[in-house]
Chains A and B, each alone.
Chain A
Amino acid sequence: MELCQVIERRKVADSTFRYTLASPFLARAVRPGNFINIRVSPSLMPLWRRPFSVHDADPSRGQVDILFQVVGEGTRILSCASVGAELDVFGPLGNSFPLPPPGSPAVLVAGGLGIAPFLFLSRALKANGSPTHLLYGARSRSRLVELDGFQALGVEIRLATEDGSAGVRGTVVDLLQETETDLPPEAWHYVCGPLAAVSAIGRELSRRQGKVWVSLETTMACGFGACMGCAVKARGDRGYHLVCKDGPVFELSEVELW
């Protein structure tokens, strides 16, 4: 637990923010896929910390970034923090994305704010020499965020919007079906987004070869395996996994998503 100062606050889309936090410790310790838990207020409402996947990290400058959308009271309070404010941060938490063998390709599939952990992952994939493709779907063009960052890392980007304002018209699942033949079949796939999107994407990818890693999002009270509240059904007859401790990254075959 440490107090981290907000050193940059950017509104990147309607009710969507990118914060840069000063934390030399976190910047060194975080791995792509990890999350941090922020206590947005010292009051008892809301009671729990809020989990945010690490959007990017820069060890040389001692900074970590989060990307979030206002969806409830916790994120609303957080969105009011100004530059200079100190946030009570606990992390890094959870596991991280395994990387493919050096030089082998990767496909990132993001629905909406599921884009959050992929900038940091793209950085690691670039260092790994992995040609990286991003399939990214959102409601409309104005909801597609952080494209510059991915471009700068040389990621090949394909877009889908539900209203057709950018890329193909439809969801990221439609995009995935359309691009099936021209993406490297042996690529490792990484999926992140709302549970319903991850489930639909996972179902489509389960028919293909190549490893599939999903990053899951659930309600969490503690974030480190103490409350056992964030259970997700394990595939087969093996009870439950905890998203916070066993995840948030799972191999698709480990979890029952549909």
Chain B
Amino acid sequence: MVDMRVQIGPLELRNPVLTASGTFGYAKEFEGLVDFSRLGGVVSKTVTLEPRAGNPPPRIVETPAGMLNSIGLANDGVDRFIAEKLPYLASLSTRVIVNVAGKSEEEFVAIVERLERESGFDAFELNFSCPNVKEGGLAFSSDPKVTERVTRAVRRVTSRCLIVKLTPNVTDIASIARAAEDGGADAISAINTVVGMAVDVYTRRPRLATVTGGLSGPAIRPIAVARVWQIAQQVRIPVIGVGGIFQPEDALEFLIAGATAVQIGTAHFVQPDAAVRVAEGIENYCERYGFRSVRQIIGSLDTTSPDPSGAAAISTE
């Protein structure tokens, strides 16, 4: 029996596998497809203060081992979230993390204050990093000072676990992560999508209505693993690794590189129960290689003696 529990700030997760925001709806969409009790937790699609219709189509395009999206944070707003989505989320036998976004510091504070009064969820994830909204979005996590200020402002109005989700579309992600830590974040999730673009050469038009969008899927995984590794060395708070995880081995890469937990995203579109399969696979790996706790793997990356043959036997000592 492997101990799969991990700790994200004040929050203990049953296992290190979460669902990534925007890929799992509000969980209801996956009813009957996923045994929620086998997940570490679910992260809701981004909620904003006011309803947002989202961007015009085309909103998605398939790319090599990935996809571009520009949904534009389509959602019904916080009031309808509380009335219509939260009760179902609250009924799940797993941790619930509500992802929120705002156009300004004031909006971030307002939506967190509004939700803080409600019960039925365990943590906030701040979306500082959506590349597909004109206002705010990216700006929040491109500047360490803004990141720290907004994190601190939100920290003052919630006693719940506070996670900040970062964009990779910056020069030095670790400095932004440190700023979030200084502002009082309990954890960092990284990465959000990578800005990308695709062109239809026959019409010479962009393949997304918004021209650029966010790249996700296995295509970005090596970028995400590198970012997580860089961040994990520079902050004391846990890092949640996100980016192109389809298989258990993909998740293990993140854990070994220093992530305390992972989020499964794009894989849900192809395999709705992908997160459960990944959690099972991590457990099997631990069992097979003699780890009594998944925590023994976290940050276990050995950079001192690269094995040129790539065939070294795994050691648990």
Binding site for B on A (CB under 8 A): 1, 39, 44-49, 90, 218-219, 221-222, 224-233, 239-240
* A226 B60 Cβ-Cβ under 8 A: no
The 8 Å CB contact of A47, one of B25, B33, B66, B69, is B66
Binds A, one of B114-122, B139-147, B150-158, B265-273: B265-273
Cα distance A225–B272 in the bound complex, in angstroms: 11
Write out the residue numbers on chain B whose beta carbons fall within 8 Å of the beta carbon of A90: 272
Please give the distance in Å from A15's CB to the nearest CB on chain B: 19
Cα distance A219–B207 in the bound complex, in angstroms: 11
Please give the distance in Å from A52's CB to the nearest CB on chain B: 16
Please give the distance in Å from A108's CB to the nearest CB on chain B: 26
Contact pattern, B 63-90, Cβ under 8 Å of A = 1, otherwise 0:
1111101010010000000000000000
The 8 Å CB contact of B61, one of A39, A219, A231, is A219
**B19-49 interface with A by 8 A CB criterion:** 23-25, 29-30, 33
* B71 A228 Cβ-Cβ under 8 A: yes
* A47 B29 Cβ-Cβ under 8 A: no
Write out the residue numbers on chain A whose beta carbons fall within 8 Å of the beta carbon of B54: 228, 231, 239-240
Write out the residue numbers on chain B whose beta carbons fall within 8 Å of the beta carbon of A233: 56-57
Cα distance A224–B23 in the bound complex, in angstroms: 11
* B60 A219 Cβ-Cβ under 8 A: yes
Write out the residue numbers on chain A whose beta carbons fall within 8 Å of the beta carbon of B58: 219
Report the number of A-B residue pairs with Cβ-Cβ less than 8 Å: 87
The 8 Å CB contact of B69, one of A44, A218, A227, A239, is A227
Write out the residue numbers on chain B whose beta carbons fall within 8 Å of the beta carbon of A228: 54, 59, 71, 74
Count of B residues near A, CB < 8 Å? 34
Does B53 lie at the interface of the complex (its beta carbon under 8 Å from any beta carbon of A)? Answer: yes
Write out the residue numbers on chain A whose beta carbons fall within 8 Å of the beta carbon of B64: 45
Cα distance A50–B266 in the bound complex, in angstroms: 15
Write out the residue numbers on chain A whose beta carbons fall within 8 Å of the beta carbon of B217: 44, 47
Query: Would you list 5 pairs from A and B whose C-beta atoms are within 8 A, ordered by A residue?
Result: A44-B65, A47-B67, A219-B58, A219-B60, A233-B56
Please give the distance in Å from A45's CB to the nearest CB on chain B: 6
Among A48, A230, A232, the one with the most B-chain Cβ atoms within 10 Å of its Cβ is A48
Write out the residue numbers on chain A whose beta carbons fall within 8 Å of the beta carbon of B23: 226-227
* B60 A221 Cβ-Cβ under 8 A: yes
Write out the residue numbers on chain B whose beta carbons fall within 8 Å of the beta carbon of A227: 23, 60, 69, 71, 269
* A48 B57 Cβ-Cβ under 8 A: no
Cα distance A45–B66 in the bound complex, in angstroms: 8
Write out the residue numbers on chain B whose beta carbons fall within 8 Å of the beta carbon of A219: 58, 60-62
Binding site for A on B (CB under 8 A): 23-25, 29-30, 33, 53-67, 69, 71, 74, 217-218, 246, 266, 268-273
Chain B residue at smallest Cβ distance from A231: B57
Cα distance A232–B53 in the bound complex, in angstroms: 11
A48-B272 in contact given A231-B57, A239-B54 (Cβ < 8 Å): no
The 8 Å CB contact of B62, one of A47, A218, A230, A240, is A47
A226-B61 in contact given A239-B53, A240-B54, A240-B74 (Cβ < 8 Å): no
Chain A residue at smallest Cβ distance from B24: A226
10 shortest interchain CB distances as A-B pairs: A229-B60, A239-B53, A222-B269, A44-B65, A221-B269, A231-B57, A229-B59, A225-B29, A228-B71, A226-B25
Please give the distance in Å from A189's CB to the nearest CB on chain B: 25
A48-B269 in contact given A219-B60, A227-B60 (Cβ < 8 Å): yes
A226-B71 in contact given A231-B59, A240-B54 (Cβ < 8 Å): no
* B67 A224 Cβ-Cβ under 8 A: no
Cα distance A217–B124 in the bound complex, in angstroms: 37
Please give the distance in Å from B257's CB to the nearest CB on chain A: 21
Cα distance A116–B269 in the bound complex, in angstroms: 24
A226-B269 in contact given A46-B62, A240-B74 (Cβ < 8 Å): yes
Chain A residue at smallest Cβ distance from B70: A229
A39-B270 in contact given A46-B62, A47-B62, A233-B56 (Cβ < 8 Å): yes
A226-B268 in contact given A44-B218, A47-B217, A240-B53 (Cβ < 8 Å): yes
Cα distance A44–B245 in the bound complex, in angstroms: 12
Known contacts A219-B62, A224-B29; 8 additional CB pairs below 8 A are: A39-B270, A49-B270, A221-B62, A228-B71, A230-B57, A230-B60, A232-B57, A239-B74
* A44 B246 Cβ-Cβ under 8 A: yes
